[in-house]
Structure formats: structure tokens, C-alpha cells
Structure 1
Amino acid sequence: MEAATSLSGATRGLTQADRFRVTRRQSEALAAPLSDADATIQSMPDASPAKWHLAHTSWFFETFLLRDHLEGYSRYDERWPYLFNSYYEAEGARHARAARGMLSRPSLDEVLAWRAHVDEAMASLLDRPELEPLIELGIQHEQQHQELLLTDIKHALWSNPLGPGYAAAPPITSPAPAAAMEWHRHPGGIMRAGHDASGFAFDNEGPAHRALLEPFALADRLVSNRDWSEFIADGGYSNAVLWLSDGWSWVQREGIDSPLYWQGDKHFTLSGWQDLDPDAPVTHISYYEADAFATWAGLRLPTEFEWEAIAQGKDASAGNQLDGAGAVHPIGSESLFGDCWQWTRSAYLPYPRFRPAAGAVGEYNGKFMSGQFVLKGASCATPRGHSRATYRNFFYPHQRWQFTGLRLAKDL
């Protein structure tokens, strides 16, 4: 595979129209190293083919903007909404998620032609002020799928016994050995949590509200591979006392004894198999594993509000995030953002006075507020500038194919 085209993940200062165009180009640049076969395969039900991500994001613009707001617009292909709707019940029946890898047609080239058609049609809507909120949602939605495209293709390529790399990259090394853990201390009190009225946010980030914090401290770095190796060596995966009941059942049932993609002193990356860097942040761990490690360390996971309180005022575009065809792998940085999404102990639930938006777009986040946990920050695969202190990522506690890690907390 050839190296991916260099991207510019940060789009600060651009008009919305330019950010739309940059974002659409970025998605196609991320898919550029892939063959039609690469872009079609689906390695597990949680993941989707790269081709599907490219198509679904176009379906989003065609369905929620072009269909409803461009007079005389006709769908590119009337059969395709059934294939590329994700979970919007209001938009009707759809192809089963677990069978997306069976969609050998349309081809990757046909999907790219559809994208070009949608982009051309969208040009006449990009200067309409009343559509700015919906266009912004579409841009942010596509950025989320850029990260999913990378994590999903990583799992697919890892599933290939040849272990092919997605793209060539510089050697993955930490800039410096992981330092002894220090702490951001907070006195507690009442904080203003959630997103206010300034700038874009997803609906699940608000309304802003008060949250009470007890005195606490948050680690100044992520847990490293070296830290995790010590956990393994001390029997962390075989000591039931450390694990939540559901987590212990999961470990036993699935035969889990290390983070996803680990194999001895190597691990699988988007550049193929690489030596495990002991000082890089550990990643591809489940909530169950993160919680067990924290218990083993005599500490705990932070709540989402504790993490947000420390992150307020920090540069959310700092750290190791997606800029181009680099390693796309955690390397370690001093920023609260980047490298890995960080598990919190907070259940993914609605904030006080939360109401989903009217219509199909109201299905975006609210209906998933059950059985999942909040993650904060950003990862090495998050487009730079996409995240913020109030951002609420969420996954089920057993899932770990995303770039997930942990930052420890303690009571004061």
C-alpha cells in the first residue's frame, strides 16, 4: 500500500464552505491507500468497511440537506439509502450492520463518483445561513467517521494473517521515557459542566449544568505500555479480585490476557507489526481492563466531570492527533488531548434537562444513552480540532478496537 496523502487536520480560520471541502477531501485521502477489496471487507460487526464510511457520510448530506433543501434534487441512486443508512429509524429500513462487508457493489469508484456528485450539489447550499447548523453537524459527523475508518481498517488488516500495513510510517518511538506520574490537583466544589451556547457541540454535550466535585487529583500522563506490562506480570488478568463481575466473566469467556493487538513484545499498528514501545501510552483496552488496572494500582478512573474540570481552558487541538499520514499511533505527549481516548467511570447518560432534537437527527446520540461509558479527550486518529473539553465519546465496556487508554485519578 502506498502512503496516504498528507492531510491538514486543523481547519481553524476557514469558512464553513472551505471546511466542508477540506473535510470531504480528507476522507478520500484517508481511503487512498486502500484497494477496492481493502475498502469492502468488514472484520467484525462493530466495524464497517471503509467504502461504507465514505458512502454513509455522503448519504448524510444527501438525505438531510440536498433532499430537503435543494429544489429539484434527485437522489444519485434510489437504491443506495437502504444500503448506507446507519441507524436512523425515521429514514426507514436499512441493510443489516453486520452484513455491510457483503456489499461488493457499488464499487469504491462508484462511491467516489457519488461523493463528487454530492459535493457538486452541496456547493449551492454552502452560502445559506439558515443551513449552517445542519452543515456543521454533517462536517463534524464526517470527522467522526474519519476516525472510525482508520480504526476499522486497522482491525481488518490485523485480521489478515499477513499483517499488512495500511501505510508506511516513520518508526514509532516515544519522544522521551515516560516520566514518573505527577498529579493535577483540584480542590473540588461546584463546577459548570457541559457545553454552553458558544461554538459547535453535539447535543449530548449539553445543556450546561452544575456538578459537585469532591477534592481529587488527575494523573498528568496516560498509563504506559510499561505500566501495563507490570500489571500483566503481577497476574492482573488472572486475579478475579481486581475485576468487576461482568469484566471477569468477559476475561474468562474471551480468553483475554493482554490489550488488543499485543503479541509478546510486538503489537499490530496501522504500519503493520512493530516492536512494543514500553514508554508509549497503552491503547486498545476495554473499560473492564481500565477499571481492573486502576484497582490494581490502588487508584481509580476519573469521572467525566473531574476530567472536564482539569481540561477546561486547555488547548483541545494539542497533543498527538490526526494531521496526515504519520504513524497514527500513541506516542506520548504532555497534553490532556490526543494519543488515546480516556475511559471515565461515568455512565453515558443524559444531562439534566437534555432533550433530543426534533426529527431524524434527534437519533444521533440520545437513543444510545444506555449501558455505555464516557471517554474524554481525543486520540491519534481524531482529526485535529474536532474535540473539546466537553466532548463525550462513548462505547460499551467490552469494546476496545478504538484507540482507548486510561488516565488515573485519586481522591484527596
Structure 2
Amino acid sequence: MSLHQPFPRGATLAARFNAVRAHSMALVDGLSAEDCQLQSMPDASPIKWHLAHTSWFFETFLLAESNRPPPPFDPAFKVLFNSYYIGVGERHLRAERGLLSRPGLERVLQYRQHVDQHMLALLAEPNLGDSEFDLIELGLQHEQQHQELILTDVKHHFSCNPLAPAWRDQSADQSPRAGDDHGPAFQTYSGGLIEIGHKGSSFSFDNERPSHRVWLEPFELATRNVSNGEYLAFMLDGGYRRPELWLAEAWDHIRVHGWQAPLYWQHDAQGWSVFTLHGRVPLDHQAPVCHISFYEADAYARWAGARLPTEAEWELAAQSDTLPGLHAEVWQWTNSAYLAYPGYQPAAGAVGEYNGKFMLSQMVLRGSSLATPPGHARHSYRNFFPAQARWQFSGMRLAR
């Protein structure tokens, strides 16, 4: 693969490296060391861990493998900040990342500075080959994924605090696209033999490749995402109490966990409110519904007399460029299991564990969200999470 085509070698890639790394630091500006230590659930990670792990990626896969590798910043970090790369070695238990009070935030920030210094020196070398440039771009895209995770995780951490603290007065999920009071219209697509998956020389993750043909029957896709007000109508119609709307596993899950509304919704004498990155606010009925699981999206679609689109249907609509809001509002659940494309080949070595090993018991989401870093989204991007996950900025768009 050749990932550096849109990002020329040398100084231009160094500038991009600086920009991506600086954006991570901008996201945590104003957070205290205590804020960055929190781990509110096993699926979320402390913000401090995200800052360290994204540096660990560059140190492990680039600096340590370079012609003149610098000494490791701290040998213990190889274990502490490894996420799931079994080929690299031992890993600290994910559910116990919040117990790592040491190293402190200041030490982690020193680690980032150390990695940045040596990475910029590496980028200045004249003899870097395609493989190094490919890994650098992968590391930057990986860090952008963690930038979105920083926002989803800090939101969940803060939601557990009865003070309902704000990450920012003006925040990523504060300016949703205005909806309307009418049901969505539907755009018709003729289907047929289409091609999906990434094409060209620009960056893509390995799970977006190879481009391949898919046959689609004619279908319709809603012209906008489902709104909070529409989802509230589902709830008021007994949506969470009607087993005929739910898949068996989904019904068992919502009964066990007592779900009655999307994550972060709350009802009191003043009505419905929702916790956001800027604190708790009244529910905006026209904003796209967010923080729902695949279970909830599927049940709502059945209640609405529709269904969720497949990822191939979604990508065809994105290629057609005929619908607003496919990007930059909420990730949209599809009815497609996260599986390999025909002819899929993971990268060689430990870095090949990035996507392929998770192709089991997960569902695909398409699009992007208000928390996705600028320039990170593309039509072929495949996000994926377990069907019960809902702390991500996940919503839905109906098909039929």
C-alpha cells in the first residue's frame, strides 16, 4: 500500500504530525490530572492512558524499529500502554487502566514530548522508505481515532458525577443540525451491481479494502437521521416494554440492565434532559438521537415500519452525494456484521492486529460524528462496536 500520496514526504508530513499531536493536547486543555485519571467503566479508558498509548504506538512501531533507535523513555511503558497487540508482548488489563495512578499526568506529558522529539528527527532523515511513511500515517490516523475516544470517554466519566461538569462551555455535541417536525423523506436508489470499498492511493485502514462488487436490490434511504423527538415517540408508545420489537438477545439485555431511554437521557419534573460535553441541557427534539445501541436502533426501525441499511447501501448513497448529514452528525448503525471483505489481507506483523482480529460479534457503523476530527471521515470508513455499545456518538438513519 502507499499511504503518503496526499501527504508529501519530509516537512509536509512533519507538519501534519505536529498538527495531529497538538490537537490531542488541545482536547485535554483545561482538564486536571484527576480528570485524566478517571475510568468510569471497562470499555472507557483514562484520558491519560489515551495520551500515553498514542505515543506508545510511535515509539513501538517506528522509533524502536529505526536504524538508530533511541533508548526507551521508560521500559515499563511497553506493558502499561500496550492496548491489544499480543505480538508486542504483555499488556496491562484494560479494565484496570484507571488504577494506574503512576505514572502521573506530568510524566505522561514528558513521554509525549520525548516521542515527538525523536519522531520529528526521524521524519527529517532523507532515507525513509514507503514502509516508514505508511506506518507514520497509520499512527496519525490511529491517534485521530483516539481523539474521538477522548471525547466519548471524558463524557462518560463526567456523566457519573452528580455535579454534571462540563468539558467545554462550547463543545462538540452542542451544535446539531436542525431537524423538522415531519417524518423524514426517503431517497430512492435503483441498486444493481455496485462497487464498494476503498479505491485509490489515499489512506485507508486495511478493513476498508479491497474494493469489490456487491449486488443491491432497489432500496430507499431516509434523507436525514432519526431525531430525539421521533425516538421519544417510540418510547412513549411503550417501545422499551414491547418484546415484539426487539431481537431476543436485545430484549434480554435491556431487561437485565433496565434500559428505558438512550444513554445520558434523564426525566424529572422539568421534563427530559440530556447530558452533553457542556453539561446537562433540555432535550432538543430536533437534534439527531445519539448514544443508542444497535439493539435500540434495530427496535426503533422495526417500530417505524422500516429497517437499518446495510453498509453497502449506505456507501452507495454516500458515493452518490445526494443526502445531507451522512457525515458530521452521528455514526449510523447498519445492519451489517463486521466481517472481512472478499480478498481482505491484514498487514504483516503485530501492526496487522489493528482491525482483523475484531471481526466477530460486532456491527458496522458508517459516517462520522460531531466528535470525529476534521479530515478523518471518508465514504469507505468502517467503524465497529458490539451491539450493546452506546457510549459512542452513535445514532441511525432508516432504510426500507
Match of 1:267 in 2: 274
* CA offset digits 1:374-393 (Å, max 9, x no partner): 00000010001101110000
Q: CA deviation at 1:335?
A: 2.5
Q: Please, which of 316, 321, 327 is the counterpart of residue 309 of structure 1?
A: 316
User: Amino acid of the residue matched to residue 367 of structure 1?
Assistant: K
Match of 2:106 in 1: 109
Q: CA deviation at 1:15?
A: 2.4
Q: Aligned runs of 1:220-239 on 2, under 5 Å?
A: 220-239=223-242
Q: CA deviation at 1:50?
A: 0.3
Q: CA deviation at 1:197?
A: 3.3
Q: Give me the identity figure in percent.
A: 54
- State the SS of the aligned residue for 2:361: coil
* CA offset digits 1:151-185 (Å, max 9, x no partner): 00100000112111111127946564425412221
- How many residue pairs get aligned? The number is 383
TM-score (structure 2 length as normaliser) = 0.93
Match of 1:89 in 2: 86
Matching of residue 52 in structure 1 with residue 49 in structure 2: yes
Distance in structure 2 (CA, Å) of the matches to 1:369 and 1:345 = 15
When residues 72 and 409 of structure 1 are mapped into structure 2, their CA distance, relative to the original with a 3 A threshold, is closer
* CA offset digits 1:311-347 (Å, max 9, x no partner): 01549xxxxxxxxxxxxxxxxx933101110000000
Kept after mapping to 1: 8 A contact 2:174/2:276: no
Kept after mapping to 2: 8 A contact 1:260/1:400: yes
- State the SS of the aligned residue for 2:121: coil
- State the SS of the aligned residue for 1:290: helix
Runs of 5+ consecutive residues of structure 2 not aligned to the other structure:
1-5
Q: CA deviation at 1:370?
A: 0.1
* CA offset digits 1:103-152 (Å, max 9, x no partner): 11111111111101110100122243431111000000000000001100
TM-score (structure 1 length as normaliser) = 0.90
Match of 1:330 in 2: none
Matching of residue 396 in structure 1 with residue 374 in structure 2: no
Distance in structure 1 (CA, Å) of the matches to 2:298 and 2:60 = 40
- State the SS of the aligned residue for 1:353: coil
Runs of 5+ consecutive residues of structure 1 not aligned to the other structure:
1-10, 316-332
Q: Aligned runs of 1:191-230 on 2, under 5 Å?
A: 191-230=194-233
Q: Which moved more, 1:141-150 or 1:101-110?
A: 101-110
Match of 2:147 in 1: 146
Match of 1:40 in 2: 37
Match of 1:381 in 2: 371
- State the SS of the aligned residue for 1:139: helix
Q: Which moved more, 1:66-75 or 1:372-381?
A: 66-75
- State the SS of the aligned residue for 1:292: helix
Taking only aligned residues, the RMSD between alpha carbons, in angstroms, comes to: 1.8
Q: CA deviation at 1:12?
A: 8.6
Kept after mapping to 2: 8 A contact 1:70/1:125: no
Distance in structure 2 (CA, Å) of the matches to 1:73 and 1:15 = 23
Kept after mapping to 2: 8 A contact 1:221/1:334: yes
When residues 301 and 142 of structure 1 are mapped into structure 2, their CA distance, relative to the original with a 3 A threshold, is same
Q: Aligned runs of 1:122-161 on 2, under 5 Å?
A: 122-127=119-124, 128-130=128-130, 131-161=132-162
Match of 2:192 in 1: 189
Kept after mapping to 2: 8 A contact 1:228/1:282: yes
